[in-house]
A and B are shown apart, each in its own frame.
Chain A
Amino acid sequence: MIGSFRKKGLAAASAVIAVAGLALTSVPAQASEPGVTANSVKLGITVPMTGIAAPGYSKVAPAAKAYFDYVNANGGINGRKIQLVIEDDRYLPQEAVIKTNKLILRDKVFAIVGALGTANNLAVNSKVRLGARGVPSLFVNTGFSGFADKRKYPTLFPLFSTYAMEAKIMGNYIKENFAGKKIGLIVQNDDFGVDALKGFAAAGVKFDETIKYVSGTQSPATALTWVQKLVAAKIEVVYLFGVTTATAAAVGVAAQAGYKPQWIFGSVGADATTIQTATTVPVALLNGAISASFMPDAADTTDEYVKFFREVNTQYNKGVTFDNNVLAGMNGAMMVANAIKAAGPNLTRKGLMAAIESKGATFPSAGLVPLAYSSTSRVGYTGYWIGKYNATGSLLPIEAKNVVYTTDSGNGPVVKTTSKRPALPPKGLPQ
């Protein structure tokens, strides 16, 4: 009996070992997770470092790297130093595809972080097939609402409040504050614009004149045709929901023509430093324009996150002027650091994504609106605050500070709320 029992036991033991062996081949152990070693984790980012979108956007990745350098100087995360490989995609979808493939295949990165631009992210997800490969793409720098579709983009986590949310919130604002005025809209004729139109429709706002432009065609000459249409239609309030070069072209041409509507700019298209560096249009022309944001203004040194990131910028990003792009880069990096910390010492791609789903809504970050990550939601920030530009290009709250509006990308209500942002963690490090 004993012999028989022992034999069975041995057989069972070898079966367990064999099964364990199989399990090991299908579930990678820590050592085999791409980009992760006992003392490092390698991440990749594609951004326009050169090309037409480089002014402004080229600051995002170095800013993220500066924050990671700061984290590394303070011991890293769970004993791992963060390496960030930066690839220049020139804001071209095909270049983003090539560079993302390189990050995954050549550099063996653990995750893509902060990839910038709606078209680039769409191209990468359809041609590099991040979802099928299980490669996380964290906190992309775009507000396209479609990226919150977990079924279609299973490894992608948006961060920005969406364009649809922005349009709905601002649509409500327009209805409440500009009733009876003639309203015009200049909007990009792509998914960015589709998101905006969806939000405006949800808000029930109607425009007296809608002008669509194709991204890449904006110029002073094109803007002149817009202004002529707006003037002819006697438009008093113009909402420009486009990119910064479109904003610059429109306000520049309008100023020359003596056309002075109440401008409202989408959050994407009114970065003062980009206007300053990439165009010949004076920032002062933004003065009095209304816009929305989910982040504190980069010039607001009373904000503890802004103050902290400015210090990091001084020490680890030497010679770079702190602006909204630097703030966005560092804030995205802080979110990544939070996620890596939350995933625990046994760092896996699946674990990382699960950590964001379970804990991401409480991650501390500079955003002034709540995060909405959960097991069923990939939505990041969920709202905006509304402000007015001053003559130096700073966006100052129209209402009391910290009053934000939250909503969704569908037909949900816009709710005015006093947001309580998580406090800056000790030393600005993930806890």
Chain B
Amino acid sequence: MNRFDMLSETVSWIAVAPQLFLLLTVFAVLGYDLAARPKSKDVHAFLTALGVGLSGVAVAEQYRRSYNGTLDGLTSFSQMLILDGSSILVNGALIVVLALGLAFAWPMITGMGTYGAETIALMLLSTVGFMLMGSSLNLMMLFIGLEIGSISLYVLAGIAREKTLADEASVKYFLLGSFASALFVYGVALFYAATGSVQITAYFEIFQGLVNTKPSLLLVSLALMVVGLLFKVTAAPFHSWAPDVYQGAPAGVTGFMSAAAKIGGFAGLMRILYLGFSQLADTWQPLIAAIAAFSIVLGTLLAISQEDVRRMLAYSGVAHAGFILVGVASGRAALREVMFYIGVYSIQLVAAFGITSLVSGAASSGSARSEYVGLGKRSPFLAGSLALVMIGMSGMPVTSGFIAKFGMFQVAWTQGFAWLVLVALVASVAAFFFYLRVVVDMFMRDADDDTEVAVGYPARVALLSVGVVTILLGIRHGLLLDFISKIL
């Protein structure tokens, strides 16, 4: 394809509409902030809500077209981007996470002066990056998406550095994150060396019919790319940065940071494994399964000994990454279950971190368990929400968490990973211990003081919706599962 083809190609705007709306909002918010220097953040709120809303409408339109089969051209921008079921679902999940994340971050945004507008802009930008990642059909595109998303997050981690000990978190995140990106891009280079292309499908197309060919260069490239992405999703043994970063970063944005990075990372991972290297499934499936088991066991064990709720959530995130990898290892047959798990878990993650920001303060670093003692009496709504989220994350029935885990187990068992299911089952029992410990602190111990925790209006709505969705999907999980499978 030469330069002129590229220019004459009709650009499929619908493929990038959600990203464009978010980008326009970024410019609008920053421009307004720069020009007007306002004291309040009311206009910011309006602009952001409008932009995120329009972006959500665009995703809905993508879904509608995909459902009707009228999506004009699956690929666009010279095959850089693809708009298929999974990219639409990733867009949707990211928009939901962004909206929830903004709701929880809002007290922090309004309290930090000019940095407030930047926080909004960075959250939106990183969403754009991860959306691009989920839609990439080209490894360079995927890398660019990854970097847009990640670099925004590095800055976000340090955005409140005067107030907190976020310096360390930010630097650590930046150094280790860049290292992971470097590994990834090295993998891309080797891929190019082996195939002469950076299209994700290149290997598939070149070696079609030569199933037995396993060029060692490609295997190395696959390993590097996968490791780079496993860093982003905090799978063990590439997780060591996560607890420090999620403890140190300002509480208001931590939930968004962790959830968005996971969605983007898994989207990229599945793109590469399912689309690019499906022929080598026999090679990568056992390895991913091993990493899944390791993540589940290690994350659970380390979470048990945490005294800080945010560190606990970070380690439990390692275990959850392992659970999602159980589905990834099971191959493309598990795509529906993986999407369900990611959707269900990411909103619970945002809510859980959001609650820690309400309890310990929006710009705080760390959230000691002692701060939760007696919360059930002081702030029943907040404590009830956190209890529900904890019960959901632990995978108890009547919550979406159970269905998500059950789906993983079932698909993994049918795909021959029975041992992995058994490991995961045992670990989930151990996991009850640390999830319930928070519930014990909140409901079964009495506090000395009885100061109520103030919960703002946006956070209240966000918590209520997460709670309703968690229970609703625990009972009528078909609603989301059908929604997913209709366009996959």
Q: Indicate whether A and B interact.
A: no
User: Which residues of A line the B interface, CB within 8 A?
Assistant: none
